[in-house]
A = this chain, B = another copy of it.
């Protein structure tokens, strides 16, 4: 991981000083600028980049200035430079290896997800504990026995957890033992993972309950901009 660690500080910006609400927007800026660059455009204005990323242009400019990047008046940002800064900053200069745990409908659907590769992520394995699923093929990957994760020949950076709530704690334990550093948890349960593993929770019912709360508000602005969505 030397090439990653050496990039902890780029151009004087110490990565861990950048707040998570800013970090969480960078993948979206990256996706937007790559989409724009793919159409042959070489520069993009902060207004266009902001609108297509769903944020206000003042938030966009503040976020990018934290990475030491500012647009030139009347010209905007160079697409290529900006994409490269964002990729380096996020540590996507090497592909991150992903495994999915859970080969049910959700796991299979997530395996199908378009654009892993295009976005610096490499899906390398799918695990399950169900004998009936082990050995079947999803996309191009065979489903492997979860017990093989501990001795898996490739290093796995991140896991997408797509198992029932009751199976999630044991699966998280196996992933942590195997050296996995991050878990994106779709299981509807709070995972108590060791400190070496960062867990992000995607809880469908909670997300919908938060949406329900806002949809019931009489007079609050409904689309206050992306910053407040993530705050």
- By a beta-carbon cutoff of 8 Å, the part of chain A in contact with chain B is 1, 4-5, 7-8, 15-16, 19-21, 23-24, 26-28, 30-32, 52-54, 89-92, 96, 98, 104-106, 108-110, 112-116, 119-121, 157-158, 160, 164-165, 181-184, 188, 190-193, 195-223, 228-231
Known: A106-B109, A114-B165. A27 touches B215 (CB 8 A): no
Known: A217-B15, A222-B196. A28 touches B190 (CB 8 A): yes
Q: How far is the CB of A46 from chain B (nearest CB, A)?
A: 16
Q: Interface centre among A8, A192, A195, A218, by most B CB within 10 Å?
A: A218
Known: A8-B218, A20-B228, A208-B158. A53 touches B202 (CB 8 A): no
A209 touches B121 (CB 8 A): yes
- For the complex, give the distance between the alpha carbons of A181 and B214 in Å: 9
B24 touches A211 (CB 8 A): no
Q: Provide the residues of chain B in CB contact with A208, threshold 8 Å.
A: 96, 98, 121, 158, 160, 182, 184
Q: Provide the residues of chain B in CB contact with A200, threshold 8 Å.
A: 207, 210-211, 229
A112: nearest residue on chain B (CB-CB)? B105
- For the complex, give the distance between the alpha carbons of A197 and B221 in Å: 10
Q: Provide the residues of chain B in CB contact with A98, threshold 8 Å.
A: 208
A17: nearest residue on chain B (CB-CB)? B220
Q: Which 6 A-B pairs have the closest CB atoms?
A: A181-B215, A182-B211, A27-B206, A105-B109, A106-B109, A91-B216
